[in-house]
Chain A
């Protein structure tokens, strides 16, 4: 055994030893055992791993979690305009009293932490299954870790058109602690739902969201990643989209010492759609990594990846995005853009865009840029009387808007745009 693999093993075992093993239904136990075995086989990532070239996993693998001081929450509750059904997790525990009682019409909601033996069997075919499929060709060890150790999460089955969006709210009451949450969503044929997520949740938050989008159904996802500057998060989104299904996910990231958001989406059926997008703004101690892997398997599918980051005072933005077009995926329409707006010379945007295409009749394009504010545009605005700072904000928002345009619901897009405006004003 080489020294590096010994070190990997030791690091992995140290984190495993630090986490309590959850109990639960028999099918869950089996899925968790399998995930633990997967995790042990691949081991936790190390700095030298190609997939972690731009992001040091050190702060994610350490058994001790640095405390993140709790700040007073002076923000308005997110997403109130769309009147979502709220499912609240406090320090990683489902809080029934703080949550809204009744599931919207057409939706069944269960909880990983309180499954009766007869409940949630539908989830057995997805829990840890989409995650396991997402371990190839590149391992995603924190997702396997999550499957093995997450004691809580929502199991959401959508059978019709959900009458309200569902909002997963992550609150915390203490400074420290690691929280793992594992959610499973199945959107059955012809059904549709919007899932929202918000809140810091923990000093170190690890979430996995597995989504099965059945034929002709629709899943929209909007996530707001909290603003505590020292927070650390590693998230995984695994989605399988059947024929004519539609999957859209958008994440807005504010601050955060370290965020690694992975999305692994497979278009299995024909004429399916997947859009994965995000906007992030960071000032100073900010490292924000979007790692996206979209596989086209069905014919005539469309995928878009749109990621924009605004970085200042030494903030770092990372984008690793791949479009894999399998031999069967003729008539694929794939698009990928990632852009960093650097507000000073100390900030960095690191991108690794990739296309891998095995079908011969496809349309795929990708681009990546990193640059400063356009001085010509800035002068034009100022020459009309717009003060320099306001002009800079206008141009910065314009830059972010191409990503925000990926949010189908105008109310949600408007709310996130306002949050960005506020952030820019506070960080002038």
Chain B
């Protein structure tokens, strides 16, 4: 589903290289996790895939179902089925959660040549998904993420994912700032979405999220590259030995 080949990315300002020849293939129906020390380029990867400004791709490619996503606008990537759950969801005063979700869903449908969803169907859809994530109606009425706790913001990301039903979901440090209960809710939300036609890329610093969202493949990222790949056991190895133990003292510094 997602194929990244020899991706090189540097910061637009200053030209500092961040990704240095990253290769990654995520197949439909699978959950891949990327772990790595701070500064290894994990978040940059998620932002570049979603189309955030401020990065320059100097080499390589990223394709979603064979389509070059790096040439697309962020909204086109979303319509193509890519979704990024943000590490820091943005607060937007004055724009209601529901208005936003509905505008986003209808824009994606329009871009794919589908009919807009009716108000009634939309309300039912959101209520059903929100209930599963323990998000109450009051939260949905408020402006996007304004006054939300850390856990509420992350649950709101998963709600958006559940409503928009993307095929390629990237979760950037979704566990950061979550207590155990909130993490379980978020993980249940993600697990409910797992199916044969959908793939996940779970980016995390710690192993604990992967107890709840069990990956098929674990990659270790360091200095802008994938340096090791393995099964779920690799995450446990990180937990036991630390990144330094896995990468060797030099690489982890």
Contacts and interface: CB of A to CB of B under 8 A. Distances in A.
- The answer to whether A and B belong to the same complex is yes
B94 A382 contact: no
Which of B86, B95, B99 has the largest count of A CB atoms less than 10 A from its CB?
B95
Which of A376, A380, A385, A391 has the largest count of B CB atoms less than 10 A from its CB?
A385
Interface stretch (A61-69, A164-172, A264-272, A396-404): A396-404
Interface string B93-125: 111000111011101100100000000000000
B78 A377 contact: no
Given A379-B53, A398-B92, A388 B107 contact: no
Contact of A388 (B52, B73, B99, B105): B73
Contact of A379 (B52, B104, B144): B52
Contacts of A387: 73, 75, 107
Nearest to B103: A386
Interface string A363-393: 0000000000011110111111111101100
A90 interface: no
B90 A384 contact: no
Given A390-B103, A390-B107, A383 B74 contact: yes
B94 A383 contact: no
A83 B52 CA distance: 48
Contacts of A390: 103, 107
A381 B90 CA distance: 9
Interface in B26-78: 50-53, 73-75, 77-78
Contacts of A401: 94
A23 to B, nearest CB: 51
Which of A377, A383, A386, A402 has the largest count of B CB atoms less than 10 A from its CB?
A383
Contact of A384 (B53, B73, B99, B160): B160
B93 A398 contact: yes
How would you classify the secondary structure of chain A's contact residues: helix, strand, loop or mixed? helix
Contacts of B2: none
A402 B164 CA distance: 29
Given A386-B107, A387-B107, A390-B103, A381 B92 contact: yes
A402 B94 contact: yes
A394 B75 CA distance: 15
A308 to B, nearest CB: 11
A401 to B, nearest CB: 5
B53 A385 contact: no
A97 to B, nearest CB: 43
A36 interface: no
B221 interface: no
A395 interface: yes
B166 to A, nearest CB: 9
B226 interface: no
Nearest to A379: B52
Contacts of A383: 50-52, 74-75, 77-78, 83-84, 86
Contacts of A395: 92, 94-95
Contacts of A391: 75
Nearest to B54: A375
Contacts of A379: 50-53, 74
A382 B74 contact: yes
The 8 closest A-B pairs by CB, nearest first: A398-B94, A385-B78, A385-B108, A384-B104, A382-B74, A380-B90, A398-B95, A385-B104
Interface of A: 374-377, 379-388, 390-391, 394-395, 397-399, 401-402
17 contacts: A377-B92, A380-B89, A380-B92, A381-B92, A382-B73, A382-B75, A383-B74, A383-B83, A384-B78, A385-B75, A385-B78, A385-B79, A385-B107, A385-B108, A385-B111, A387-B73, A395-B95
Given A379-B53, A379-B74, A387-B73, 4 more contacts: A382-B74, A383-B75, A383-B77, A391-B75
